[in-house]
Chain A
Amino acid sequence: MGAGHAHSLYLRRDSPVHALPPHCKIVATVGFVLAVAVTPRHEVWAFALYAVLLAAVAAVARIPAGTIARRMVIEVPFVAFALFLPFVARGPEVEVLGLALSVDGLWGAFTILAKGTLGVVASILLAATTEPRTLLLGVERLGLPPLLTQIATFMFRYLDVVADELRRMRVARASRGFEARDLRDAKVLARSLASLFLRCYERGERVHLAMLSRGYDGRMPVLAEAGASRGQWAASALLPAAAAVVAAAAWMVAFRLG
């Protein structure tokens, strides 16, 4: 019981980035990712500039580079796929260390790596500077139906409770000598999952009872209504605006040369 992992993505800091309203930061992140996505892939310098921009945000938010690097592990499957591309793509080839690699494939791999990494780092920064529940408030303010954010809020609240229940069931199985070895044990695990589902369903009913008992009538009361000031929007716009300038410059260079 007690400390869960749901908060582990968030890093508590006292920084201007943390202080920005969540919906501004979400819009800024999406804007940045869009700018990165439309950048022509041959302008390598543009991607370097994007990385510098993110590094600046991380510095202002006081998120250590090591933390970001560790969380980038999530990207590994995509990296594996990207490394595969130069071997399978068609078209003109170049010789590297005695291997014939497709030029197109190499550029493809570079694009996936660069754009993917920038997107992942931007999301990591968003998650590290915004508490999960305020993130949900943010998407709600941006127009996501309240019912969806309610569901996500409950999921967030009960994730630890359910994980704990699952852990207790695993301990109870292990205590009676069960160890999952091969596919034949799937039956036992499936039964555990089924009973976990039933427990969650029953808990859902009890939570609903508790909500009704406190006057719930189908709508969550709006408790925090803090809009964003122009200054906050302007501050959040710095990153996507800078990225847009880089993207536009990259296109101009690409057109002039091409």
Chain B
Amino acid sequence: MDASLEVSGLAYAYPDGTQALFGVTTSIARGERVALLGPNGAGKTTLVLHLNGILHGGAGTVRVGGMPVDPSDKKALKEIRRRVGVVFQDPDDQLFMPTVKEDVAFGPANLGLRGRELDERVAEALERVGMAAFADRAPQHLSFGQRRRVAVATVLAMRPEILVLDEPSSNLDPASRRELAEILLSLDVTVLMVTHDLPYAAQLCPRSLILSDGIIAADGPTLDLLSDAELMAAHRLELPFGFVPQALSGA
């Protein structure tokens, strides 16, 4: 078993009739770091919410580490939610407990961990994002970048099969952005990163998917996709001023 994530023929329409996904098929191997690119309204968030079974009911299947996502099987769903660690865009949504420590403990405690084992898991996750010194602080007293790092720790503590990040670089100042990149590169875990930040995708993810109008419009090495001006323009993707992907691929 070497695929962390297999999505096949996934289609979904919201209850109001809006069709968001039109048959998405892709596979991510264990240890890969993949960027999911696409304009606003392409269905990126909808896809992410299928990965851990929060949205369901359309056609197609999702398998995580070989295990099918089946929302009717409560026990299996719990295991799926352990395997898929979703880091949401706004850390204030993700960090809802009174202290950093309790928040990081929330996931593993729901998995049934208690006592010393739980403490070790929390300490380890905070260590990996460099936030161990802030364990007893309240989330609202941290900087935005620190909160985002704690948000990453909250899902690392569940030892996920795949880390799913929704716009990880949004609202970060350049230093926090670089710090987060260093942390993500240091993690030995499969990553799916949803982003508009194309240089960030180029820096962190060797492979990219372009999701456009509810289908996978392109799949390939990130720098190749970013260098394809026609493809980029067709899907409303634009590189920031002065960023030349060809210069990176040459290096």
Contacts and interface: CB of A to CB of B under 8 A. Distances in A.
A215 interface: yes
A198 to B, nearest CB: 15
B28 to A, nearest CB: 18
Interface stretch (B5-13, B97-105, B176-184, B189-197): B97-105
A157 B82 contact: no
Contacts of B102: 223
Nearest to B92: A161
A212 B106 contact: no
A133 interface: yes
A132 to B, nearest CB: 8
B116 to A, nearest CB: 13
A187 interface: no
Interface residues of A, number: 28
B81 A207 contact: no
A214 B107 contact: yes
B143 A209 contact: no
B110 A157 contact: no
Contact of B54 (A156, A157, A161, A209): A209
A213 B141 contact: no
A203 interface: yes
Contacts of B97: 153, 157
Q: Is the interface of B mostly helix, strand, loop or mixed?
A: helix
B170 interface: no
B143 A2 contact: yes
Contacts of B111: 215
Interface in A187-214: 203, 206-207, 209-214
A160 interface: yes
Given A214-B154, A215-B107, A207 B93 contact: yes
Interface string B90-132: 1011101111001001110111000000100000000000000
Interface string B139-164: 11101100000000011001000000
Given A157-B139, A206-B88, A223-B102, A213 B81 contact: yes
Contact of A212 (B54, B98, B118, B140): B54
A210 B52 contact: no
A167 to B, nearest CB: 14
B98 A210 contact: no
A64 interface: no
Contacts of A223: 102, 105, 109, 118
A158 B118 CA distance: 26
B78 A215 contact: yes
Contacts of A227: none
Contacts of B158: 214-215
Contacts of B105: 221, 223
Nearest to A222: B109
Interface of A: 1-4, 6-7, 133, 153-154, 156-158, 160-161, 203, 206-207, 209-217, 221, 223
Given A7-B138, A133-B98, 20 more contacts: A1-B144, A2-B140, A4-B141, A157-B138, A161-B92, A161-B140, A206-B88, A209-B49, A210-B88, A211-B96, A212-B54, A215-B107, A216-B106, A216-B110, A217-B78, A217-B110, A221-B109, A221-B110, A223-B102, A223-B118
